[in-house]
Amino acid sequence: MASIVFDIETLRYSLDVFDEKQREYLFKFCKTEEERTAKIQELALNPLTAQIIAVGMVNPETNRGKVIFIAEQKETFRSEDERIEFCSVLNENDILHHFWNDIKHFDQIITFNGRSFDCPFLLLRSAMLNIRPTRNLMPYRYDTDKHCDLLEQLTFYGAQKRMSLDFICKSFGITSPKEKGITGLELPPLFEQKRFREIAEYCIGDVYATCELFRRWNDFLSEQG
């Protein structure tokens, strides 16, 4: 069975994109400046207020894959070990077209919190941009042969408390992508500073961590979820 692990990185739109009524709606429950700042950060998590700026994909059997990311000019290069191909594109439409073309060739998709975040985000952004998906990213919840969401598996579908990828990786002794000093909160300034390669490298770090977590689950827990 051919499997693929994937992860997306998202970036909120500038508030100038939204009209007065939309801004009023977004911040109507914010009473303090701290609450407003927190709400602005949350906008990156909603497909109606953010866009996809990178998608990383890796085959867990071979550790080979690619990252499609937005940059100001197109370029293609490889990681030092030659396993990962980095392809820059000019907009989100191109990212989505690449993603749907690649994902259709795999039997099983593997994510971390994909059912709650990555998959709905990809589906809604595609619909908003008139791009037709090539496969169902939200199949029957308990069929891990089609979609293995490791957050659901490692919490036994809610029996355990949900934790972040960073926390779980550290608990399992797996190198966390956050150990390199970049978190999702750093993506807006990185993008503004045109440090597009750093965003792409951060994205593949999340994918590699998810791959290793999948191997642990597959070796020790797959019959228990």
Tell me the pLDDT band of 16, cut-offs 50, 70 and 90: very high
For the cut 90, the answer to whether the pLDDT of residue 43 exceeds it is yes
Cα–Cα distance between 177 and 138 in angstroms, integer? 26
How high is the mean pLDDT of the chain? Answer: 95
Cα–Cα distance between 72 and 90 in angstroms, integer? 6
One-character DSSP codes across 43-110? GGG-TTTEEEEEEEEEETTTTEEEEEEE-SS--EEE-TTS-EEEEEESSHHHHHHHHHHHHTT-SEEE
pLDDT computed for residue 177 by the predictor: 76
Higher pLDDT, 177 or 59: 59
Token pair for residue 3?
């499997």
Q: Do the beta carbons of residue 43 and residue 49 sit within 8 Å?
A: yes
Tell me the pLDDT band of 225, cut-offs 50, 70 and 90: very low
User: What average pLDDT does range 5-17 have in this prediction?
Assistant: 97
Token pair for residue 21?
């009524």
Range in 26-35, 77-86, 105-114, 169-178 with the lowest mean pLDDT? 169-178
Residues 6+ apart with CB under 8 A from 85: 65, 66, 67, 76, 77, 78
Fold classification of 3-220 (topology level): Nucleotidyltransferase; domain 5 (3.30.420)
Q: Do the beta carbons of residue 86 and residue 77 sit within 8 Å?
A: yes
pLDDT tens sequence across 175-216: 987 776 677 888 999 999 999 999 999 999 999 999 999 999
Q: Do the beta carbons of residue 11 and residue 191 sit within 8 Å?
A: yes
Domain definitions of the chain by residue range: 3-220
Cα–Cα distance between 64 and 193 in angstroms, integer? 29
pLDDT computed for residue 224 by the predictor: 58
**3-class SS shares of the chain: helix, strand, coil, % to 5:** 45, 20, 35
